[in-house]
Amino acid sequence: MKNSNINNNYQALKKITSQEENQNWCQWLGGLIDASGQIVLKKDGEVFLEISLETVNYHSLATIKHRLGGGHINVLGGNYTCQYKLSNVGPEVIKLINGHIRHPSKQEQLRDICNHFGINYKPPLELTPIDFWISGVYESIGKCELNIEDLSISITLTDRNEHILTEVCRVLGGRLVYYRASNGTYKLHFQKKEELERLFNYFDHNSFKIKSAPQIKLVPEFYKILMEYEKKGNTDSELPLYIWECFLKLWNQHKEEYYDNKNLKNIENALENSFKKDKIKIYNSNFD
């Protein structure tokens, strides 16, 4: 009897964990769509989904393709951009993102699509500092840069829509600036140590989110190197070359493999085999 209770508790916990993971994934997908995607109801009643990312994030689009059970991915612009398209989107997919879209115009699009399918539209809840929506936004429009000359790291989110960046700024801080000369774009800057550490803590909260921002996980290591060097009284000298070589190798290693078409295909094939083996698919999940 005792073993039976333990097994029932384990199964209940496993179900809760699975639901939470699906919810996190849906939040992340909503962030991607808000920042670099669109979901449109055409005049003939067909709904299509489209998301464009840099090729370094090809793995994410391949994951979406297999989780949603269809669509295709095209590599564009000299292998630097990839685009996922899914036609004839059904109500199951709409239920996944319902409640996770925050871009005002895309909320209106989603509302129309929900009405089309007879689904009750859900406005998003207030954004929290642990919402996976932020990781989707960062993966779409975020950039982490290392400046060797002044020994600094800067993280910037760039978009023409102020609303998305304002949402992120409200919960994670940073400095939001409007650049009229850059075609009227907004940029959210994270440059101070405390700002970068706050962003690192967000991504470090869950291993899934750190995949969206591999360089951010090196922020503590960067400051550790500087701190150790300053302790030795070498602040006026250049850091030893071998230290930077090791750090830069880690910093750049996630980029190199993604600009080769053969590797892109290998990524998708490996994902397909993994999904078949584990039977992972949330296209038909019963999200209300």
**Max avg pLDDT among 8-17, 142-151, 195-204:** 195-204
Mean pLDDT of 158-180: 94
| Relative orientation angle of helices 219-231 and 241-256, to the nearest 10 degrees | 180
Instruction: Grade residue 181 by pLDDT with cuts at 50, 70 and 90.
Output: confident
Identify whether the C-beta of residue 84 lies closer than 8 Å to the C-beta of residue 51: yes
Note the pLDDT tens digit of each residue in 3-18: 444 444 334 333 434 6
Domains and CATH numbers, the chain: 2-125+261-278 (3.10.28), 134-239 (3.10.28.10)
Other residues' Cβ atoms within 10 Å of the Cβ of residue 29: 27
Say if residue 200 is exposed, middle or buried (CB neighbours under 10 Å; 0-12, 13-18, 19+).
buried
Spatial distance between the Cα atoms of 191 and 210, rounded to a whole number of angstroms: 19
Other residues' Cβ atoms within 10 Å of the Cβ of residue 107: 15
Identify whether the C-beta of residue 222 lies closer than 8 Å to the C-beta of residue 185: no
Note the pLDDT tens digit of each residue in 23-41: 999 999 999 999 999 999 9
Mean pLDDT of 58-85: 88
Spatial distance between the Cα atoms of 189 and 169, rounded to a whole number of angstroms: 9
Helix (H, G, I), strand (E, B) or coil at 218: helix
Q: Does residue 219 carry a pLDDT above 90? A: no
Q: What is the DSSP letter of 169?
A: H
Q: What is the DSSP letter of 127?
A: P
Q: Does residue 288 carry a pLDDT above 70? A: no
Q: Does residue 282 carry a pLDDT above 50? A: no
Mean pLDDT of 274-288: 42
**Up-side HSE of residue 162: CA atoms within 13 Å toward CB?**
7
pTM (2 d.p.): 0.80
Identify whether the C-beta of residue 114 lies closer than 8 Å to the C-beta of residue 126: no
Choice among 16-20, 72-76, 109-113, 176-180 with the minimum mean pLDDT: 16-20
Note the pLDDT tens digit of each residue in 223-254: 887 777 666 655 545 556 677 777 887 787 75
